[in-house]
């Protein structure tokens, strides 16, 4: 059963963060096209940068006792990436609930969508035990922003 619920939009304006990644020769085949598995590190680079940009680099997460392992990933390939292109990898927090969250990605070159992706992450402690999504992450989720409205306060059922 798939955990992916989010359909990443093709509108770059819907993503609050992006990271530029240049396609390396080693990631391509004999035709200069990026191998399908090479997309996953692009998502990782953008995810790590996104977390750093919101003040939660992995070094901080670890001191807080948290890990965010990927438990599912989906990539939809639209048009190949090729050697030496600069890829804009945009990231959005799609949802946060319970002990998991989803991130959506849009990979584009010069504004043209080339791929979309979703990663689903568990929230665990250093021993691998499930933890609730931390409040700081839940507050960034669209369902929280909608429920909080103009007040910015979490809904009564929000995890803390």
First to last CA, the chain: 28
Task: Let me know if residue 102 belongs to a domain.
Answer: yes
**Total domains present in the chain:** 1
Catalytic option among 29, 84, 88, 125: 29
Q: What is the pLDDT along the chain (160 residues), one digit of tens a residue?
A: 677 789 999 999 999 999 999 999 999 999 999 999 999 999 999 999 999 999 999 999 999 999 999 999 999 999 999 999 999 999 999 999 999 999 999 999 999 999 999 999 999 999 999 999 999 999 998 866 665 554 444 434 333 3
Domain that holds residue 105: 12-150
> What are the pLDDT digits (tens) for 20-41?
999 999 999 999 999 999 999 9
pLDDT of residue 72: 96
Q: What is the CATH number of the domain that holds 80?
A: 3.10.129.10
What are the structure tokens assigned to 104, written together? 């959506």
Task: Let me know if residue 5 belongs to a domain.
Answer: no
pLDDT of residue 142: 83
- DSSP E strand stretches across the chain: 17-22, 70-77, 86-97, 100-109, 112-122
Active-site residue, 29 included: yes
Give the span between the Cα atoms of 66 and 134, in whole angstroms: 9
> What distances in angstroms separate CA 159 from CA 9, 10, 12, 96, 99, one per listed residue?
27, 31, 30, 10, 10
């Amino acid at each position: 059963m798939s955990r992916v619920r989010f359909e990443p939009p093709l509108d770059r304006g819907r993503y609050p963060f992006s990271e530029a990644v240049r396609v390396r020769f080693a990631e391509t085949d004999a035709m200069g096209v990026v191998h399908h598995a090479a997309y996953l590190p692009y998502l990782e680079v953008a995810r790590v940068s996104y977390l750093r940009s919101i003040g939660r680099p992995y070094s901080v997460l670890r001191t807080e006792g948290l890990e965010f392992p990927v438990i599912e990933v989906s990539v939809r390939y639209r048009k190949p990436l090729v050697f030496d292109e600069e890829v804009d990898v945009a990231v959005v927090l799609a949802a946060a609930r319970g002990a998991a969250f989803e991130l959506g990605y849009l990979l584009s070159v010069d504004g043209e969508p080339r791929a979309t992706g979703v990663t689903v992450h568990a929230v665990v402690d250093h021993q691998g035990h499930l933890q609730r999504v931390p409040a700081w992450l839940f507050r960034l989720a669209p369902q929280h922003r909608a429920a909080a409205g103009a007040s910015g306060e979490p809904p009564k059922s929000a995890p803390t």
